[in-house]
Amino acid sequence: MGRSLVRDGEGGQGADSDFVAGFLLCIKTKRDKARTWHGGAGLKISRGLVVFLCVWVFASALGAAQDDLKVDSDHDGLSDAREQALLEKFLPRFQVSRGDCAVKPALFAEGLAKPTVVGRDGTIYGQVTPRVSTKAGEALIEVHFYDLWSVDCGRMGHPLDAEHVSVLLSAKNMESPTEDWRALYWFAAAHEATVCDASQIAVAKVLGADEHGATVWLSAGKHGAFLSESICRQGCGGDRCYGMTPLAVERVLNLGEPGAAMYGAVWVNSSEWPLAVKMQTDFSVAAIARLEQGGGVPVESNAAHGSVKGTIYVANSVVNGMGTSGENTGAALNTANDKTANALATADGNTEGALIKSAKATTGALKRSTKGVGKFLHLSKDKKAEDEPPQ
């Protein structure tokens, strides 16, 4: 799967340059069998001095690297390096529609309050947050992966579309190496905070995704996330997963935490999308309890409004059916159009004549009926008597 890679942090490039320079200098010194090394302009440097300089450069590079490991840009207690390592280890295996109208998740400009698309290149953003465990000897970290789109071009679409998937990780302690962290639960968001909320939660082992990223299907146009392809078709949000292909992730960038943005992601708090509210925990006690009762298979994390969802689902099925048959229906209507027009034209003349005849017949019938009713009620006789002069 094509994925990017870690973008260098500040200071990292300088440390790497020092390391390379020191390495080349040491190689040069080792290969030189003479007691001196001749530099430019006839400068002579003793081999002992070169070795000393080599050790000094290595020590400086090592110190810089250790400093980089301690940098915590978002002030959450986890170093940037640790967060990036976990983001890359558990990066989901996104499946997207080949014909998605928004193409791929987008990269946004740094430092702007308004979300501004730089390119639709498959960038995934992340967030890594330590959580408190109720179990002794267990550390928890919640990792979010945000696929941010330039547009929701599905039914009832809108500009900008913030979607996400998350995972709850566990290890013995926060200092545990990256390889020791295991996924406990996965969460996939779909139409959050709407009546059609179809977000799901599942046990990582059930998905076969406790040591790496889960496979996640993103619906075409709407970009709702689903932990199985079949679930994608069951929601009431008009989701469809068709023509799916693995997403080639260009890069994974850490958003940081609310109030401590990384990579200039100040647009997180923009009112143009609900991204900031998605940075809260996805693993409530109630949701996990429901999941465990169901055997760990994917379940909806929000089961409210079930009857309403069912009604909307049926409506969407009808609309989808109409959309699917739209071309066939259109062709049938076009084919029948001329015949129908001719038939209507023919029927128009026949109907007009029939209506005239019917009107005449109805008028005569009404007259006869009136006379009959009058006779029955003795109205005709009384009327005639009224017209006669008094005797």
Higher pLDDT, residue 302 or 178: 178
Q: Is the pLDDT of residue 301 over 80?
A: no
Q: DSSP character for 210?
A: S
Q: What is the pLDDT of residues 323-370, one digit of tens each?
A: 444 444 344 434 444 444 454 444 445 544 543 454 455 445 445 544
Nearest residue to 76 via CA among 237, 209, 260, 241? 260
Q: What is the Cα–Cα distance from 380 to 371, expressed in whole angstroms?
A: 7
Is residue 217 a contact partner of residue 244, using CB atoms and an 8 Å limit?
A: yes
Kindly report the backbone phi and psi dihedral angles of residue 350, in degrees, each rounded to the nearest multiple of 5, phi listed first: -60, -40
Pick 264 or 377 by higher pLDDT.
264
3-state secondary structure of 359: helix
Measured distance CA(272)–CA(293) in Å, rounded:
38
Average pLDDT, rounded, for the chain: 75
If DSSP codes are grouped into helix, strand and coil, which group holds residue 291?
helix
Which pairs with CB-CB distance under 8 Å and at least 24 residues apart come from 101-106? 101/151, 101/153, 101/220, 101/221, 102/149, 102/150, 102/151, 102/152, 102/153, 102/161, 102/221, 102/223, 104/247, 105/147, 105/148, 105/149, 105/247, 106/148, 106/149, 106/150
Q: Which helix (H) or strand (E) holds 44?
A: strand 44-46
Per-residue pLDDT of 255-271, as tens digits, reads: 999 999 999 999 999 99
On whether the CB atoms of residues 93 and 280 are closer than 8 A, the answer is: no
User: pLDDT tier at 70 (50, 70, 90 boundaries)?
Assistant: confident
Q: Report yes or no: 226 and 190 within 8 Å, Cβ to Cβ.
A: yes
Q: Which two tokens stand for residue 197?
A: 């909320």
Whether the full predicted model's pTM is greater than 0.75, yes or no, is: no
Residue 345: its pLDDT value, please?
46
Following DSSP, what letter does each residue of 51-106 receive, concatenated?
Answer: HHHHHHHHHHHHHHHHHHHH--TT-SSS-HHHHHHHHHHT--EEEEETT-TT-SPP
Residue 227: pLDDT band by 50, 70, 90 thresholds? very high
Helices (H), 226-305: 285-293
Contact 281, 142 (CB under 8 A): yes
What pLDDT was estimated at residue 374? 43
Which of 148, 187, 127 shows the shortest CA–CA distance to 272? Answer: 148
Beta bridge partners of 119: 107
Q: Measure the CA–CA gap between 6 and 3, rounded to whole angstroms.
A: 10
Closest among 302, 312, 265 to 188, alpha carbons compared: 302
For residue range 32-57, list pLDDT tens digits in order.
Answer: 544 444 545 555 556 666 556 655 55
What are the pLDDT digits (tens) for 172-205? 999 999 999 999 999 999 999 888 999 999 999 9
d(CA 344, CA 349): 9
